[in-house]
Structure 1
Amino acid sequence: MNVIKQNDPKKILSGMNTLVKTYKLDTLKYTNGVDVMKGSAAITFLKQDDFKNFGLYLNKIKDKFNQTSYMNIAAEILYESNKNLNYAHNLAEKTIRLYESYKDDPQARPEGFNRKDWERFMKLAAYPYYETFAKILHAQGQSGPALYYLEKALQNKDSENMMPETAQLYSSLLIAGHYNEKAYKFLRREAELGRTTKVMEAQFKTLYSLLTKKDADAAMDSIQKNMKRRYAEEVSKKIISGKQASEFNLKTLDGNSVSLKSLRGKIVVLDFWATWCAPCIKSLPSMSKINKKNPDVVFLYIVTKETGSDAVQRIKKFVKEHQIALNILIDIPDKRNYGKFITISDYNITRIPAKVVIDKMGAIRFFSVGFTNENKLNNELQAMIDIVKMQ
């Protein structure tokens, strides 16, 4: 039994006590593992609105870093559910205070943890703490303090890897604070990198018209054309030659068979994903848009790494609940190796989401892994498809 994956906090605590007694664990020596079980129990109590027991088991976590991690997770859950924002506010604020109380304390560094690595680790840890508090403050209508804490968060992370939701919040807070020049420069940079949301594009146009008195639509069109040209140039350097795609014959959710061989003569895009993979799920709406934009291309969404005897039913339920209307295929479990799946292994994919672009002759031309934001995926994958179409 995986203790921390239980939905019942009492089962988590019972499992923790069983493990400690069975293996006679020294709870001081194995602080981290015990903290994880206590933190998991605290979070499940929180999800049940049992704030008393949430606080009780949160306070039982011994390691301060583990404690701030679970406090931040809890504050983020409350923010996402848009309930108990005052409680979330207090929790996020306490998280920052606790973090700032130990981040420079030499005794807080675990034994055997290199000092420079610990300092770098602590700097990265600060980002979600400040960001969560900024989001909660923004939701409470406190734009000024929200901007202050979001900028503190961005000091602790490379802004080049900013998520689109964070970038949109940042531009919105700058505009709310009347930092128009700063907001304009930020939005222009994001537009040139192809990372703007629809809201950010509208913000850019408004500021462009305000600051330059020129045609904002023409400016945005020019930026996007240059951006797409740059993507095409960068993507063309990643083309793969001479590698034939592995054949497969997989079942759809309805039980029909689809083979790669039967699609010879068509460009095929494979998207490896899973119902438990958050970046995979976030990328599906973008994939659907690219799919509709390219009716002459076959898109196959291979759901993989779904273990258990109820995997197919679980996938069907997920697809129905999320109203996913895509060509979904189910990867085949490797009976010789539990947890391994045949198709994803044949394509040597180690993490998902992963995209594979196959040309009309059945050769792999492009391969990409991960998902950062919608615009990047749209521009990069569309550039790959366009290049293969021209071959």
Structure 2
Amino acid sequence: MHVKAVFSFLLSVAVVLPAAAQFTFSPEKPQIGQVVSFTYTPQRTPLAGDTTLEGRYVRYNDPGSIKFSKGIPVPLVRQGDYFTGQLPAQRAGTAGMMIAFRNPRVPKRTDLNNGHLYSIPFYDGKDCLVPHALGGQASVFSRTGFMYDLDGRVDPNWLVLLYEWELIQYPEHKPQYWSDYALAMIKQRKPGYGPKVKAYIDSYLASRPEPTADELTRAGGLYEQMGDFTKANALRDRMKNLDPKGPLMQKSRAEAVRNEPNWAKKKAAYEAFIKDFPNSTHTPVLTNMITDGYYKAGDLRGLVAFIDPLPNTSVDPQWLNSVANQLAEDRRGLTEAEWMIKRALAVLDAQPKPSRPSAQWQAEQQARKRQYMATYAFALEQQGKDKEAYDTYLQAINTTNPEDSDIKTNERYWLCALRTGNGETARPNVEAFVQEGRSNNRLKNALRDYYAKKTGNAAEAETYVAKLEADLRADLREELRSTLINEPAPAFSMTDLKGQKISLASLRGKVVVLDFWATWCVPCIMSFPAMQQAKAYFKNDPKVQFLFVNTREGGPLQRVHDFMAKRPYGDFVVPVDAGQRVANAYKVQGIPTKVIIDPQGRVRYRGIGYSGDAEATANEMTLLVELLKEGK
């Protein structure tokens, strides 16, 4: 076999093996034009126990073609304990793909393969890695925002190795990678790196008969990174004579802004860039980065001062809405939150209609306007400006199509209406929200209390709300009825955390809800408030029993005791499923899993995972229990 082929094989083994236990793909040596199927196993990763996952991937090639990317979402199909997916066929100009996995409902919970991501390098027809299959991976880390968006950190040692492997296999690629490789060595900070990197830079420039402006710019930036401003300035003097305002200079300076880790220096570098290149194509990306940086640094006044003079075309209204809403949720920076959402509304109103708008463009704009007005009203409400907030909520609620309205906005509107004495005016809208299922328990409870106070009859108020949602609950009951199963319930006997014996035989004649969970399972814990709500619904019903079965714990029992002691679930009955015997008997494939047993000792429902919607989960559980109590 050719030396390069042998080396390519060894490199492929080195790159693929670290992820093999969690991530495999087919074909094993994909080529351009082939669809890549993959299998991902989240066990022993930060995503273990999560039931809803997605992949995000980027394609890569040579450094010059790398783009600032947040990744393309990839839907995953759950197959028991693992997930499968497909990546589309790639055209020429792609050296490989890199993928990460995350919980889309909790985006900060990710699996980044210990900072290396999961790689799919491409091969040629001779089973050799294509050019840039390795160095391109390093470029994803150093030249895109992929890891930044996933809130991950780059491993500098891995970065250096990827560059070295690429340059050993393809030494002719040195002009494309030399500066990135040098920067990686600087960030690696191995003992004696300074003289080594400077010698490498000098050697490279000496090998170039006429260094380009871009090469001189990069070299100057590297010397600055190492604090050698004398050499950096000397290189800048050479560079000015070549192309002082050209695209290469702009690109290099933009990269310097992106790569600067120090926030104060980053802002200064951005200001200098804008001054030197006021019309640069790199400006929008850098502006977004600085905007996000102000928010992450907690400098809200600085953020407002930065955004204020920007033209509308440089402002992302959706980002402003998200930040304003989060600030209002946190009850901090409320003055700034109000300013931000007002600016977002101004930007939205100023957006011109596209020359070829989609059929949904007008409706989408109206939906965004309502969303922004809801945030504006919430920010006003959190400042105690209830009168202004109520008037603003009237522009935020969707009365023309209640079925498509936002539940949280509906709740806030109703509570604000009550505080401002507008209950009777708002009641028809709120009744429509309840009838269409666009309400939550807080809204319904407030509506029930309002009606009871108005009529002086608590029982009549209870009936009033029940009638409003009668049709909706009837429809949901029919939908849930179709999910019922009918299997014998295996006998069990467990001991709970209080030392009490619990057996299925002792619960005969009751509807029994089993919630299988573990302390390490985040979705399990996230579903507890919903389950507590469902349990409270039947608190006075001796014919219903909820059991929160701890299983697959993998640790000392004391951990479960400590966990329950620190949380407001003291009335939970927690049997311990030692050895997973009960979970296995009840066909539990993942947690959380809810199993409901009818009074005759038959398993009638089994559901895995958690949707993230506490209200919906609680309603489903209560309706299912009611169905089984009725013998349906």
Q: TM-score, normalised by structure 1?
A: 0.62
Q: Are 2:339 and 1:90 equivalent residues in the alignment?
A: yes
Instruction: State how far apart, in whole Å, the 1-side matches of 2:328 and 2:622 are.
Output: 34
**Contact 2:324–2:375 under 8 Å retained in 1:** yes
**Contact 1:128–1:153 under 8 Å retained in 2:** yes
Structure exhibiting the larger radius of gyration computed from Cα positions: 2
Pairwise CA distance, 1:140: 1.7
Partner of 2:248 in structure 1?
Answer: none
Q: Are 2:328 and 1:79 equivalent residues in the alignment?
A: yes
More strand by share: 2
* 5+ long unaligned stretches in structure 2: 1-44, 47-99, 101-106, 120-134, 153-287
Partner of 1:169 in structure 2?
Answer: 412
| Structure 2 counterpart of 1:142, from 366, 369, 385 | 385
Q: Go from structure 1 to structure 2 and tell me whether the alpha carbon gap of 1:96 and 1:228 turns closer, same or farther (over 3 Å shift).
A: closer
Residue 87 of structure 1 aligns with an amino acid whose one-letter code is E
Partner of 1:324 in structure 2?
Answer: 569
Pairwise CA distance, 1:223: 2.0
Residue 573 of structure 2 aligns with an amino acid whose one-letter code is N
* 5+ long unaligned stretches in structure 1: 7-11, 110-114, 335-341
Higher relative contact order (CA 8 A, sep 6+): 1
Instruction: State how far apart, in whole Å, the 2-side matches of 1:232 and 1:44 are.
Output: 50
Residue 140 of structure 1 aligns with an amino acid whose one-letter code is Q
Comparing 246-255 with 355-364, which one deviates more in the overlay? 246-255
Question: What is the CA deviation profile of residues 286-336 of structure 1, one whole-angstrom value per residue up to 9, with x for unaligned ones?
Answer: 134135233432212357999xx88988876654433222134689999xx
Partner of 2:512 in structure 1?
Answer: 268
Where do 1:130-209 residues align within 5 Å?
A: 130-155=373-398, 159-160=402-403, 165-175=408-418, 179-190=422-433, 195=439, 196-206=443-453, 209=454
Residue 477 of structure 2 aligns with an amino acid whose one-letter code is V
Residue 83 of structure 1 aligns with an amino acid whose one-letter code is R
Question: What is the CA deviation profile of residues 111-141 of structure 1, one whole-angstrom value per residue up to 9, with x for unaligned ones?
Answer: xxxx457877766655543322211111223
Residue 268 of structure 1 aligns with an amino acid whose one-letter code is V
Superposition CA RMSD, Å = 5.7
Question: What is the CA deviation profile of residues 367-386 of structure 1, one whole-angstrom value per residue up to 9, with x for unaligned ones?
Answer: 67747565x76665444323
**Contact 1:253–1:328 under 8 Å retained in 2:** yes
Percent identity reads: 19
Residue 242 of structure 1 aligns with an amino acid whose one-letter code is N
Q: Go from structure 1 to structure 2 and tell me whether the alpha carbon gap of 1:221 and 1:291 turns closer, same or farther (over 3 Å shift).
A: closer
Instruction: State how far apart, in whole Å, the 1-side matches of 2:515 and 2:559 are.
Output: 19
| Structure 1 counterpart of 2:602, from 363, 367, 385 | 363
Q: Are 2:262 and 1:23 equivalent residues in the alignment?
A: no
Comparing 218-227 with 85-94, which one deviates more in the overlay? 218-227
Partner of 1:235 in structure 2?
Answer: 477
**Contact 2:449–2:461 under 8 Å retained in 1:** no
Residue 154 of structure 1 aligns with an amino acid whose one-letter code is I
Find the residue that maps to 1:86 and give its secondary structure.
helix
Residue 323 of structure 1 aligns with an amino acid whose one-letter code is P
Instruction: State how far apart, in whole Å, the 2-side matches of 1:246 and 1:71 are.
Output: 54
Pairwise CA distance, 1:102: 4.8
Partner of 2:464 in structure 1?
Answer: 223
Partner of 1:112 in structure 2?
Answer: none
Q: Are 2:540 and 1:293 equivalent residues in the alignment?
A: yes
More helix by share: 1
Residue 546 of structure 2 aligns with an amino acid whose one-letter code is F
Instruction: State how far apart, in whole Å, the 2-side matches of 1:333 and 1:65 are.
Output: 58
Pairwise CA distance, 1:271: 3.8
Q: Go from structure 1 to structure 2 and tell me whether the alpha carbon gap of 1:5 and 1:372 turns closer, same or farther (over 3 Å shift).
A: closer
**Contact 2:380–2:388 under 8 Å retained in 1:** yes
Residue 365 of structure 1 aligns with an amino acid whose one-letter code is R
Residue 94 of structure 1 aligns with an amino acid whose one-letter code is R
| Structure 1 counterpart of 2:627, from 373, 382, 387 | 387
Question: What is the CA deviation profile of residues 332-377 of structure 1, one whole-angstrom value per residue up to 9, with x for unaligned ones?
Answer: 999xxxxxxx779945789x7x754221344233467747565x76
**Contact 2:530–2:618 under 8 Å retained in 1:** no
Residue 446 of structure 2 aligns with an amino acid whose one-letter code is V
